[in-house]
Amino acid sequence: MSDAVGKALSRRTTLVGAAVALAAGAAGVASWKFGQRDMAPDVRYTLLDGRQAELKALRGKVVLVNFWATSCSVCVEEMPAIVETDTKYRARGYETLAIAMSYDPRPYVERFVATRKLPFAVGIDSSGVLARAFGDVRMTPTTFLIDKRGRIIKRYLGKPDFQALHGLIERLLADAA
């Protein structure tokens, strides 16, 4: 085989491998576990009602942090399942925090929250500081599951498998912390 043919085949193999990896990530197939020492960032945020809050105040609870946007069809589609999850586990020490992305207009977020009667805390990341603190979140939905100790246990890109998510929440709630 000539050097030119060998280089062309090598380049093609590299491009195909990169395309497959990119497609898997873009499809939301990836959900991965973080390491034991990956703590959720200590961030302050403002809720739609104007109250200030801190993520570290939720230590001792299992927390789902969902970055979303009203313009994201997958976000809108998954929101009823997030509400159902919150309703199912809230009494057992579970909290949901929905963070609208910086590009989402406040009136759209307020209307969405009101018409869907979202039962959990909702904030808008107007400056993008929360998205950056969580590893520069850009894709919506991006969801983080945090254990009672404040460690990020899982990050989901795209809609999670809610049955598997519920199983993980059950295990984390049973953990004595």
Q: What is the pLDDT of residue 157?
A: 97
Residue span of the structural domain in which 3 resides: 1-31
pLDDT digits (tens, 9 = 90+) for 88-106: 999 999 999 999 999 999 9
CA distance 87 to 169: 13
CA distance 136 to 140: 12
Q: Are residues 84 and 45 in the same domain?
A: yes
CA distance 165 to 84: 12
Q: Are residues 87 and 137 in the same domain?
A: yes
Contact between 93 and 62 under an 8 Å Cβ cutoff? The reply is yes
Share the mean pLDDT of the chain. Answer: 85
User: Structural domain tally of the chain?
Assistant: 2
The partner residues of 100 in beta bridges, in order of sequence, read 68, 124
Q: Are residues 15 and 50 in the same domain?
A: no
CA distance 15 to 7: 12
- % pLDDT > 90, the chain: 77
Q: What is the pLDDT of residue 176?
A: 81
Q: Are residues 24 and 107 in the same domain?
A: no
Q: What is the pLDDT of residue 169?
A: 98
Q: Are residues 40 and 25 in the same domain?
A: no
Q: Which two tokens stand for residue 110?
A: 């307020």
State the CATH number of the domain containing residue 55.
3.40.30.10
Q: Are residues 47 and 79 in the same domain?
A: yes
Burial 126-163 (b: 16+ CB within 10 A, else e): eeeebbebbeebeebbbbbbbbbebbbbbbbbbbbeee
pLDDT digits (tens, 9 = 90+) for 25-49: 333 333 344 444 499 999 999 999 9
pLDDT at residue 19 greater than cutoff 70: no
Identity of the amino acid at 174? A
